[in-house]
Amino acid sequence: MDFTVNLILDKVFADKENKFYGLNRTELRKMLNWTCKNTVLQFNGKYYTQLDGVAMGSPIAPLMADVLMNWLVDNVSKIGCSPQILSGMWMTFSVRLTPKTRWRNSSII
């Protein structure tokens, strides 16, 4: 998750602009982290927070997957990955969009 957030920040602030819609780099990082890492749900009367990955159905999930996959496509030769492996990864991400999700019981609500 942090890697993808950094990719977004690097792209947004590539031209050394100090603000993006009024947000500086630190503020945008906090917003992205809050959006991606603070998912809470209720199941059988208990609250759970997501520990890893973006929640399915989240509006930001396709953006995060797309950013990471575009980085992989652009860097496939640098990371020593064959096009066949990348193609398999693309199919996996297309079907699931996010890696395995872990949950824990939450006491924040």
Encode pLDDT of 18-53 as tens digits: 888 888 999 999 999 888 887 888 889 988 887 777
Q: What is the domain range of residue 21?
A: 2-105
Rounded CA gap, 95 and 93, in Å? 5
Whole-model pTM over 0.85: no
Beta strands in 22-89 (DSSP E): 40-43, 46-52
> What pLDDT, on the 0 to 100 scale, is given for residue 26?
92
Rounded CA gap, 3 and 32, in Å? 12
Domain count, the chain: 1
What is the SS3 assignment for 40? strand
Residue 35 burial by CB count (10 A; 0-12/13-18/19+): exposed, middle or buried? middle
